[in-house]
Amino acid sequence: MTSLAKHFFQVAYVVPDLAAATERFRATMGVPYFERLENVTFGAGCRHRGQPAEAAAHLALGYLGEVQVELIEPVRGRSIYSEFLDAGNTGLHHVAFLVPDFAAATAALATSGLECIADGVLEGGMRVEFAYFDAAPDAASCIEILGFDDAAHAFMAELKRKGTH
C-alpha cells in the first residue's frame, strides 16, 4: 500500500452535544457551514469489536479549506463513539483517509498489526464503506479508512461547495 498521507480527508470529534459543538466550531475555527445528519444508523453489516452492531449517531459535516470536519454525537447503542464518551473523553477521535482502493487499504492496515475495531457499510442513496483501526500502539487516535461510491463523492463535493459560498 502506498502512503495514506496523500488520501488525508477528515478530522473527527466526538461530542456530547452536537448543537453546541457546531456553534463552537463555527465561532472558534471558522467552519462556515455544517450539514447535519440525524440518526445515522449503523446496523446490518456493521461490526463493533468483531460483533454485529446496532447504533445511531447525529453527525455534522463541514469543511475547513480542503479538510472535512466531522462532529459526532452518539445517540443510541454501543459504538466506538459511545465508548469514547463513556471513558470520559470528548474531542478529537479519529483522522480519516479517503482511499481509491478500500479493500487494499484495509488489508494493508490489518497486515501491519493494527486492530480493526469497527467496520461496515452505510447505504441510503449513497454507499460509504468504513473501517476504524486502533492506532493507540503508535500513541495516536483511531485511523478511519473510507471508500465512497460516486453518489457519496458527489454529496461531499456539494457539501464542500456550500461551505465556500
Amino acid 64: pLDDT = 92
Long-range CB contact pairs, 102-111, < 8 A, 24+:
102/129, 102/131, 102/145, 102/146, 102/147, 104/1, 105/1, 105/4, 105/7, 105/145, 106/131, 106/145, 108/1, 109/1, 109/133, 109/143, 109/145
pLDDT at residue 2 is higher than 70:
no
Amino acid 8: pLDDT = 96
pLDDT at residue 143 is higher than 90:
yes
* pLDDT tens figures, 74-97: 999 999 999 999 999 999 999 999
> Which CATH number goes with the domain that contains 107?
3.10.180.10
- Residue 139: band (very low, low, confident or very high) from pLDDT cuts 50, 70, 90: low
- Residue 43: band (very low, low, confident or very high) from pLDDT cuts 50, 70, 90: confident
Task: Look at phi and psi of residue 53 and say left if phi exceeds 0, alpha if psi is from -120 to 50, else beta.
Answer: beta
Amino acid 3: pLDDT = 83
Tally of domains within the chain: 1
- Across the chain, mean pLDDT equals 92
* pLDDT tens figures, 93-131: 999 999 999 999 999 999 998 999 999 999 888 999 999
The 3-state secondary structure of 67-125, one letter per residue: EEEEEEEEEECCCHHHHHHHCCCCEEEEEEEECCCHHHHHHHHHHCCCEEEEEEEEECC
CA atoms within 13 A on the CB side of 5: 1
pLDDT at residue 1 is higher than 80:
no
**Domain of 37, in residue numbers:** 5-163
